[in-house]
A and B are shown apart, each in its own frame.
Chain A
Amino acid sequence: MGVVIKAFRTPLGYYVYDRSSNMIVKVEKEEYPVVLKLEAGREDEETAELLKAYRAKGILKENRLTEIRHPASQTLPYHLEHRVQKITLQLTQSCNLRCDYCAYSGKYHQRTHGGGKMSMETIKKSIDYAMKRSDGVEDLNIGFYGGEPLLEFENLKKAVEYVSGAYHDRKVNYTITTNGTLFHDEIIRFLSAHDFSVMVSLDGPKELHDQNRVFANGEGSFDRIMENLRYIKERYPVFFQKISFNTVVPPGSDYKCIEHFFSANDLIEENHLSRTTVSEFSLKDEVRYDDRYFVTYQYQTFKILMAALGFYDKKKISRMFSTDFVEIQRFYDHLGEAPVCTSCAHPSGPCVPGARRPMVDIDGNLFPCERVSERSDAMKLGHVDTGCDPVKADRLLNIGRLTERECIHCWNFLHCGLCASAADNGTALAGDRRLSYCESSRQGTLNTMRSICLLREYGYDFEGDFFDEEDRVISGTEK
C-alpha cells in the first residue's frame, strides 16, 4: 500500500507532510530526493532505510486505508433526529435585485427568481421540525433567506413571534442575509429587539457594487444601501454593530479598489467583513479569475506573513484578508490530530446533511444548506412533513465513495474540504466533477503548509497571540 505523503520545499527548507500522522516533518536536504522517491511510490534500498528511520519515530506509517466511509454513517439517523443545529428558511424566491452572479440569475443549474413565498403553515412546520430535532444542541439557530427575505417581513415577524410563543424558553439565535435595500424603522427595531445577526451583501465602491447588484430596472443599489446604513448607524448604533458585510469578488474586478473602499470607509470600519468569490459549484459555464486577482491575493497573503513576523504593521493588513491568518493558525493547531491510521475513513469536507444547517425551500423541501442547487434531485433530502431520507443523506455524507480510488491515496485527505455540492453536475452526483476541484484544493493546502513552514523558519511563535482573541472569535463565527 505504501505511504501517503507530500514533499514540498520553501526557500529555506525541505519538508514532507505525512497523512498517517497528519504532521509536517522537516527533512534534510540530502534526504529530500529519497522522500520524493517515496512520494512517487518508488521503492529501493534508500527509501527502505529512510522509512525504517521514520517509522521508528512513529511517522510515515503504511497506508491502511482501504474503504471510504464517513465516521458518522452509522449514527446518521441519530444526527437527523437530535442534532439539527441551524435551519434556514427560504421565506421567498422573490428578490428586488437582479445581481449578475446570483445563484438564481440563470447562470447556474439552479432555479431562477420566482414569485413564490413560504406560507405561514410551512414556516411553523419548519420551526417545529427543527425544534423537535435539536434536543442535542444547546441553542438553535434560525436563519432567514431568500430571495430577499425582508420582502416577507410580515411572515418573518410572525415566525419569530411563533417561536417566542410556542418555544418561549428555548434559546434561539436568529440570522438574516439581506441585500440591505429594504431597511426601515419597524424592521430595524424588530431585528434589534430579537438580537438578529445581520449579513449585508456589499461588494465595494459604488462603481463596482453597481456593476452587479442592480434593481430589476437596472439601477444600482449602492446608494440605497449606504443611505440605509448611515441611518442605522446614526439612529441604532448598537444594532449597527451586529451588522456584518460580505463582499463577493467577481472575476475581473479590481481587488485593490475593493480593499481601498473597505479600509477607507469610516461608516463600516468596525463591522466584521468577509469575502467570497463567485461560487463555481453548479455553474453552467466556467468562471475564470485573471492574473490581477491572484497577484493581489498573493500580495495580501505576503503582507499578512510579513506582519506576523513583525516586518509590517499588522494594523495595515486588509480587513478582507485578516481572517486568512486565522486559518493558517487553525491548520497549525490541528496538525497531529485525527490522522488517517485506520482502514476506513472519509475525506474532510462534507457536513452531516440534514443536521448541520438544513435549508427549507418555500414548499417545505429540505436541502443540506442554502448553497446547493434546489433543482438537483440528489440534493433534495426530504420534506418537513416526512423528514430527511436517511439513504439520500448517507449518499451525500459519503460523497467520497464516488472517488474512492483517488481519495484512498490522496495526501490532502484530511484537508480536502470538498462537500457533496462539488460533485453535483446539475443532473447527478458525478465523480469526475468532484475530481475537477481536487487540484485547487490541494494547492490551497500546500500554500497553507508552506506559509506555516516559512513562518517557523523565521521564528514565528504559533503559541503566541499575533491576532487577539476577538479576531479568532470573529473568524470562528464566520467559519
Chain B
Amino acid sequence: MKKIALFPVQKNNAPLARYQNRIPDTEVIPILAPAHKSMAGQDLSALDGGSHTGITLRGDFEKAVEDCELLYLDDSRFLTREESYAEFIRTAERHPIRIIYARTLSERLHLQDEESCSQKWQASGLGDAGKLTAVDIPVISVLTMGNETDQSHVEIGMRRFFQDQGYRVSQIGTQEYSRLFGFSAVPHFLFANLDGKRKRLMFNQFVRRMIKEEKPDLLIMGVPEAVMKYNNRIPAGMGDVPCIMMDAVQSDIGVLCTCCQPYTEEYFKELSLFGRYRLNCELHYFNISNSVVINDEDYQDRLEHLPLDSGFVVSHMYDGVDADCGFEIFNSYSDMSSDKAYRRMEEELAGNPEAMRGGI
C-alpha cells in the first residue's frame, strides 16, 4: 500500500484523506499545521466537521512522513512564512520521499520545475477553433461563493455518489490534488494572461477532448473562485473564471456552495436568478458548508471564517427557509442530506432528455 503524506491538512484538502478509499492501494496520512497541533490524535472529523472517519490527525511531521512515498505539500494561510515551508521541506528530504507541490505554493515559493500533481489533461495543442462546440453529456457544475464553502468536498462526494450508482464520471476539480483521484484539476490557462474569448474557446476544446477520450456518462465540473465579488473591498476574482467556464460549457445543473449564514428564501431566489443571467445555469442546489463568515469585527478588509460541524449546520440550514421552497439545501458532510440532493440531481438528469443531448 502506497502512503501519501498530506501537509498541512486543512478543510479544503481534507477530502483527500476522507475519501482515500477512492484512491486504489493508497493510504493518506493527514498532518496538521502547527496552528492546529492541538487536534493531533483526534479524528479527521475534528478538522472538517463531518462524520467520524477513523482517520487520525497527526502532528508529528517528521515521524509521519518517515514511511511515506509521496508528500503532497499544499498552500496554507496557516503557514504564512516561506521559511516554515523550507524547514518542513528540509525535514522531508531527509527521507526518500517524492514531494509534489500545489501550484499556488509552487508559485509562492518561486519553485521551478517542481512536480505539480494537477494536470492530467494537457492544454497543449488547444487552438482557437473560432466557435464553441456542444458537450453531449450531462454536466453538473459545482460553484462557490468564496473560500471555506466545502466545495471540494461536494465535488468528491458527488463523484462517489454517481460512481456508486454505476455512472462513468469525468471530472474537473478545483483542487490541485484532483489528479491523485484520477481526474484533472482546472487547467492553468484559465488563470493565464489571455483574453476571455480565447480562454472560453480553449476550455471548450479542453473539455471536448476529455469527453472524447474518457467517454463518460456525466461530467462534474468544479469551478474555482467566487461567482461574484463579496463587496467592493473584497472583490476576489470578480467572478471572471466562473463566467468563462460556464460560458464555455453549458451546465445542466449548478450547485452553489456557500457558508452557513441565516439565509432567507428570497436570498436563494436572487441567487437562482443570478445563475440564470450571469452563469447560464439556474441554481437550485445549495451546499451549506461547515463554516460561517465572521461578522463580529466592526471593520474587516478580508473574510475570516469560523469552523462549525455538520450537526450544527444541518440543524440550522433551513432556518428562515421553508423546507418546501423548491430549492435543495444540503450539507455535504451529512450523508443523509447530501445523498438526497445527489439523488434529486440524478432524477433531474434522467428526466431531462435535453440534458442527455447536451448542447450550448
Contact = CB atoms under 8 A, between A and B. Distances in A.
A167 B34 contact: yes
> Which interface residue of B35, B84, B231 has the most chain A CB atoms within 10 A?
B35
A178 interface: no
A342 B319 CA distance: 13
B306 A138 contact: no
Contact of A330 (B77, B299, B316): B299
Interface stretch (A102-110, A219-227, A333-341, A426-434): A333-341
A83 B231 contact: no
B295 interface: yes
A356 B299 CA distance: 14
Contact of A348 (B38, B77, B84, B298): B298
Contacts of B34: 167-171
Nearest to A139: B80
B81 interface: yes
Contacts of B131: none
Contacts of B292: 75, 78
B167 interface: no
A384 B35 CA distance: 19
A387 interface: no
B96 interface: no
A137 B296 CA distance: 14
Interface in A68-82: 70-72, 74-75, 78-79, 82
Contact of B307 (A70, A78, A168, A352): A78
A41 interface: no
A83 B294 contact: yes
B262 interface: yes
B35 A338 contact: no
Contacts of A417: 298
A252 interface: no
Nearest to A83: B306
A83 B77 CA distance: 15
Interface centre among A74, A132, A334, A417 (most CB of B within 10 A): A74
Contacts of B80: 138-139, 171
Interface residues of A, number: 35
Nearest to A472: B301
Interface in A54-96: 70-72, 74-75, 78-79, 82-83
A401 to B, nearest CB: 16
A171 B81 contact: yes
Contact of A75 (B35, B36, B233, B308): B308
Interface string B23-40: 000000000001111110
B38 A135 contact: yes
A71 B38 contact: no
Contact of A136 (B295, B298, B307): B307
A132 B36 CA distance: 8
A72 B307 contact: no
Q: How large is the interface on B (under 10, 10 to 19, 20 to 34, 35 or more residues)?
A: 20 to 34
B262 A169 contact: no
Interface in A121-160: 131-132, 134-139
Given A138-B77, A138-B80, A139-B80, A170 B37 contact: yes
A479 interface: yes
Nearest to B293: A71
B78 interface: yes
Contacts of B77: 138
A131 B80 CA distance: 17
Contacts of A78: 292, 306-308, 312
A74 B306 contact: no
A72 B293 CA distance: 10
B93 to A, nearest CB: 17
Contacts of A138: 35, 77-78, 80
B197 interface: no
Contacts of B231: 337
B37 A352 contact: no
A82 B307 contact: yes
A438 interface: no
A317 interface: no
A320 interface: no
B305 interface: yes
A351 interface: yes
Contacts of A75: 292, 306, 308, 312
A417 B295 CA distance: 14
A235 B157 CA distance: 60
B83 to A, nearest CB: 11
Contacts of A136: 304-307
A132 B80 CA distance: 19
Given A136-B306, A170-B37, A334 B316 contact: no
Contacts of B307: 78, 82, 135-136
Nearest to B47: A135
A475 to B, nearest CB: 10
B3 to A, nearest CB: 23
Interface string B12-50: 000000000000000000000011111100000000000
B13 to A, nearest CB: 16
Given A71-B262, A171-B80, A479-B299, A82 B35 contact: no
Contacts of B295: 71-72, 338
Given A74-B316, A138-B78, A79 B38 contact: no
Given A170-B37, A333-B233, A79 B306 contact: yes
Interface string A158-191: 0000000001111100000000000000000000
Interface in B220-260: 231, 233
A74 B262 CA distance: 10
B296 A351 contact: yes
Chain A CB within 10 Å, residue with most, of B36, B77, B262, B298: B298
A318 to B, nearest CB: 23
A72 B304 CA distance: 13
A334 B300 CA distance: 10
Interface string B56-90: 00000000000000000000011011001001000
Nearest to A355: B296
A135 B39 contact: yes
A74 B233 CA distance: 27
Interface string A383-409: 000000000000000000000000000
Contact of B299 (A71, A83, A334): A334
A136 B304 CA distance: 9
Most buried by A among B262, B294, B304: B294
Interface string A315-358: 00000000000000010011001100010000010111000100
A380 to B, nearest CB: 21
Interface of A: 70-72, 74-75, 78-79, 82-83, 131-132, 134-139, 167-171, 330, 333-334, 337-338, 342, 348, 350-352, 356, 417, 479
7 contacts: A74-B312, A78-B307, A138-B77, A168-B34, A171-B35, A334-B299, A348-B298
Given A169-B84, A171-B35, 19 more contacts: A71-B295, A72-B296, A74-B316, A75-B308, A79-B296, A82-B306, A82-B307, A83-B294, A134-B35, A135-B36, A136-B304, A136-B305, A139-B35, A167-B34, A167-B37, A168-B34, A330-B299, A334-B299, A479-B299
The 6 closest A-B pairs by CB, nearest first: A169-B34, A132-B38, A170-B34, A135-B36, A352-B296, A72-B296
